[in-house]
Amino acid sequence: MGILRELRQRARSFAGPLAVACAIGYLGYHAIQGDRGLLTWLQLSYQAEKARTTLAVSRAEEIRLARRVTLLRADGLDPDMLDERARAVLNLAHPDDVVVFVDSPAAR
């Protein structure tokens, strides 16, 4: 009977530290892998930076297109821009023009 009592005493002395170690392991795992853990935070930071870059590109494109639109308005009409757009839309060229065909990046 002495052996069983000895085993029970040792099990009780290990139960507390073992429970604390399991709790630390559980919390540590979820601090790294959990829904609000370190890896998720890094992934969301990457996605936010990617979205900021896309937003900057979109805003630059918007500014470029807005400038082209202002050149086509009646109050600030640029004759060269009007001529360019008319030729592009109508797919026409003047007989004295030299036409150079360039492959678009999408066709490559």
Tens digits of residue pLDDT in 57-88: 999 999 999 988 887 777 777 788 778 888 88
* Through-space distance between the first and last CA atoms of the chain, rounded to whole angstroms: 86
Calculate helix-pair angle for 79-90, 38-72, nearest 10 degrees.
Answer: 100
- Asked whether the beta carbons of 18 and 24 are under 8 A apart, the reply is no
User: What is the tens place of the pLDDT at every residue in 5-44?
Assistant: 888 888 888 888 999 999 999 999 999 998 889 999 999 9
- Cα gap 88→95, rounded to integer Å: 15
Domain layout of the chain by residue ranges: 1-33, 37-93
Give whole-number Cα distances, 29 to 18, 25, 43, 106, in Å: 16, 6, 17, 47
